[in-house]
Structure 1
């Protein structure tokens, strides 16, 4: 005898009215009503124009879209299309299968990414090159606006192939290229350059190129700065995260770049990097320097000596605004208050050197921002506002400025 039957009989024996049937669970009729309501909602939505369906789903976050994709094949296609218009599409086999089945998804791809996760070895990289070659020729990526590739020296021949494919079949909508080279502690010299770099044809017409280039102990197939050269007439925003400066780097100017993101690593920086980058990007007005250890010094450190390595950035003569992004995670043995004061004083020293003797005559503001690696957040710290002296020099070739205001 089941427990529900026992409870029912016990209630009757005590003169208690048994629970109503509806209270013990929905009837078949009720369930059918719920199903019909659900189907009706589904029907109302699917009868809307596709543009309106996509507009509605565009308000959903990634988690909601993932849940919606499980409802039906139609919702899956709509969810994927919405995601792929805003998120990078990784080069996994499953994604290529979806592209082969649904033409609408091909038109939704805005950002295509070849990363380590999908290319763990040469064999997998070879498969991706073949897939890309086939789909590019068939016009799968006509709406692509951004392309990302995590390059590894041991797959340099495939990197060349992918760049050439992008150049041959890429559309006018392609405006952003991201290249990341892994970090390895070994210098690159003119002797170990790979001659295959001459066979690379970079896509043109780009407005943004982001290059994160570290050390490599393996032969490289390219001079990464040539990606900038191919777009010297159209490029307006550039990222040059260069862990070291090599003498064979190209110095073709990119005169239209007005925003430049750079990296200045503690103890590894070559001052020629700032000097050469200033020549390559001569008209930068907004300079963002990620300087992980800027201001994070031992209490007894000699500021002119320790901070002198940052002075070379004053070669960006047309800069109007400079942002220094620093971190404090490596500091040991000081309170946050003392650390904050040291960072303020150290950056103030660098700014005073930047504007000394008429350097960086157009500089108006320097922003200091704190980077929290664990949380991945950037928080403003303080701002230096720079104005001319009360009685500036009469010469038109020299404008002397001083730090006049500090805001916390």
Structure 2
């Protein structure tokens, strides 16, 4: 048994918060009370001065395994997650081979089960992510996939998308969309505007996102599918989601820490370390993303943790791959940029990073309650730290060297300590 004593607990699901002890037995929380004096052998954890919260749930993560393990693998990705306070991840399916077969799905789930955190994965919408033939979504769901996505590649065939939504609605499973229409893009990863002009390249227009978001919101309303607009980046897309959510309860959207923290100026300053799809845009877009998080238009924060090798990121801006790592800095960026800045309460931030994403994927996670999962993190919300050493294989992030606030001190997953600072 583990007894967490004298911490300040926040459960974002019930809204309960205050000074409570938490008793863990096996992989479950068995008691929450102001004072607990257990009988028998117990490991005591002094949480005085710390925030006790549910393990975070990140529903947009790339562990690059199988196929690209020089960048990351399931073990190193899980270690990075644990260090960042993330106890449940939903992996994206753009591996090699892609997650369009039961064999690849089983490989990921079996390897993930040995990591110490909860590793779940989406399966692909289309075979080989080619956008032409649907996978056997029902068979993949039965084999353990928690949702569907071709993240990394936009789906351009509207009728195929409609059919995929109809099947996902029948299965009551979410389907997530990477919204970038290539006809509005010349050299992706950099916003068309100040940043693209700086590098003398075409860049990615905001219209690329707007066009596909508009299409998929309409299709979701018609089919009743539960959809997730991934890594939203433009003020127009935020407003489209805001209006659609008034008409349809199955629409969700996620924002990354980099999109609520940075603008295209970061691409000029940090180069390829701030190149990502969709790109960082203007200050008005960043503010629109924050407003969307505040009013519930955007109901999840997800990292899009996208590790790459140093050699890849050292290439010229038009050749280097897009994406940054995020698991080890996401909570601290939320505390620094949203809570300390006065936009959100800590409870609201935790809801966006645990309860809401768990609910969309029907996962038993993201809350603290008797009988609930023993996935618990202890956070020193006042502690400042500078990201320099990473558990991830990759270091492709512009946040190295930043002074951030809110450090994860301990991560417990399934009743076992998986990280200690």
User: Normalising by structure 1, what TM-score?
Assistant: 0.33
| Structure with a larger share of its residues in helix | 1
Higher RCO (CA 8 Å, separation ≥ 6 residues):
2
| Structure with a larger share of its residues in strand | 2
Which structure has the bigger radius of gyration?
1
User: Normalising by structure 2, what TM-score?
Assistant: 0.32
